[in-house]
A = this chain, B = another copy of it.
Amino acid sequence: MSRKDVIAGPRNEEGIATVLGLLKQRFGERFQTGLSFREQHAHTTTYLPAQLPDGVVFVESADEVQAVVKACAEHKVPMVPFGVGTSLEAQVNAAHGGISIDFSRMDKVLEVNAEDLDCTVQPGVTREALNTYLRDTGLFFPIDPGANATIGGMASTRASGTNAVRYGTMKDNVLALTVVTANGEEIRTARRARKSSAGYDLTRLFVGAEGTLGVITSVTLRLQGIPEKIGGGICQFADVKAACDAVIMTIQLGIPVARIELLDAMQVRACNAYSNLTLPEKPTLFLEFHGTEQTVAMQSEQFAEIAREYGAENLRFTSDPEERAQMWKARHNAYWAGRALAPHLNGLSTDVCVPISRLADCLAQTQADIAETGLLAPIVGHVGDGNFHVLILFDDKDGADVDKVEAFLTRLNARALAMDGTCTGEHGVGQGKMSYLEAELGGALDVMRQVKRALDPDNLFNPGKIFRL
């Protein structure tokens, strides 16, 4: 974090008043300025204080997005795209006020090209809705950040999650976008071909830009065939280091695990309580293997050999869909399970990602730091990617507690950077990680600023995020 990164930017009161009038006139009931709407649209799964927009417009088409952008651009009013509000770094805060553009009504799957393994969706489609829609096609969209986020939001934060070790992140799974740019025009960043060298990679420029360069109006995604066979696995280890070493060996040997997730002992305890499980309260790996009957069996056996070498206990494989579903539901609920350990406290999820060879060290040092600092902080990790989250439970009203947490975060991020890692594997920068990003990328931020100024000269697209201009 750093609370100092949460800037309340300059407000263009006159422009805002004008646009409120214009949008009310055009959108009627689909434009709301009531406090509850505004509060709900600045709600984020973050400890950071909310910054409310001045109004919320429920758009239904790309044409309407263009109209909103043109009105806001003319009157120099900021715009903040809103999916379902599951971002963790206050990406939806209206730091300079302005209009929240709500995509919940742009939730249509526009096109599925099953034979090309791709589809095009409106930004408000959630990943669960998409997978329900796709079920009969034999295809699925693999990116799974846990939360039932929208595809537009996932593209904007370059989300990933449990399946990324096998299927990559949003960067790898978005084929093309349509985007409304600062002049209100809609562009298409690429064609539907699987690969292309057709000029600058605008698709990947907008993926991960957190809404600061334009407003996404559709997303073309790669899809995967539903595996013939899915196998699950679970096991415990004596300590986090042994679990990590097993993961490192699995990745280095190229075993194509679909998911390989670590929960530390405290997180297992939290999940047991929250999801009614009885797992041994030790560092635990959850695994998933995708393939055919034969390849899943082979991968499971290969992993078992490695796991045993590192002292795995209670190693258990299952291909029972219900048992797997229960296991992954527990994993998906890890954030809320963690929060439930101390419902009166706020929660902050860190997101460092390091080269895989440094993972065990980084995790072990971080656990020691948590203990020394005296934090209540369970850990979960997409360890196959070198990415883990510390969920710090703390009292955000208590200055001393906040200082302690900030000092811990500074150490954690410095540790990851010293290992050539990043401060954010998948949550994005938002307002909470600006200072860490500065340390991480230095002069590269100037290039980002040049791009931002070129594409959004009036700083109207989600201002106050990623970096200080």
Contact = CB atoms under 8 A, between A and B. Distances in A.
Interface of A: 113, 115-118, 157-160, 164, 168-169, 171-172, 181, 185-202, 204-205, 207-209, 213, 224-225, 248, 251-254, 292, 294-295, 298, 351, 353-357, 385-387, 417, 420-429, 437, 440-448, 450-455, 466-467
Contacts of A453: 454
Nearest to A160: B195
Nearest to A248: B115
Contact of A194 (B207, B355, B467): B355
Given A117-B252, A295-B295, A193 B443 contact: no
A188 B115 contact: no
A27 B349 CA distance: 52
Contacts of A193: 353-355, 385-387, 420-422, 425
Nearest to A156: B197
A195 B207 contact: no
A450 B442 contact: no
A454 to B, nearest CB: 3
A311 to B, nearest CB: 21
B429 A192 contact: no
B199 A201 contact: no
B443 A187 contact: yes
Q: How many copies does the complex hold?
A: 2
A210 to B, nearest CB: 8
Contact of A387 (B195, B202, B387, B440): B195
B429 A197 contact: yes
A197 B158 contact: yes
Nearest to A417: B191
Nearest to A115: B357
List of 4 A-B pairs having minimum Cβ-Cβ separation, nearest first: A454-B454, A115-B357, A204-B204, A192-B420
Contact of A444 (B159, B202, B423): B202
A197 B254 contact: no
Contacts of A452: 200
Nearest to A117: B252
Contact of A424 (B186, B196, B201, B202): B196
5 contacts: A115-B356, A187-B441, A191-B421, A197-B425, A199-B437
A390 to B, nearest CB: 16
Given A172-B172, A294-B298, A357-B115, A157 B191 contact: no
A350 B423 CA distance: 43
Contacts of A295: 295, 298
Contacts of A351: 197
B199 A467 contact: yes
A357 B116 contact: yes
Given A357-B116, A421-B192, A207 B201 contact: yes
Contacts of A189: 441, 444
A171 B251 CA distance: 21
B208 A205 contact: no
A429 B199 contact: yes
Nearest to A430: B197
A196 B425 contact: yes
A202 B208 CA distance: 11
A248 B190 CA distance: 22
B200 A451 contact: yes
Given A448-B202, A450-B455, A451-B454, A428 B355 contact: no
Contacts of A117: 251-252, 356
B208 A199 contact: yes
A103 to B, nearest CB: 20
A9 B61 CA distance: 43
A197 B424 CA distance: 5
A423 B198 contact: yes
Contact of A196 (B192, B294, B353): B353
B195 A385 contact: yes
Contacts of A187: 441-444, 446-447
Contacts of A437: 198-199
A203 B159 CA distance: 17
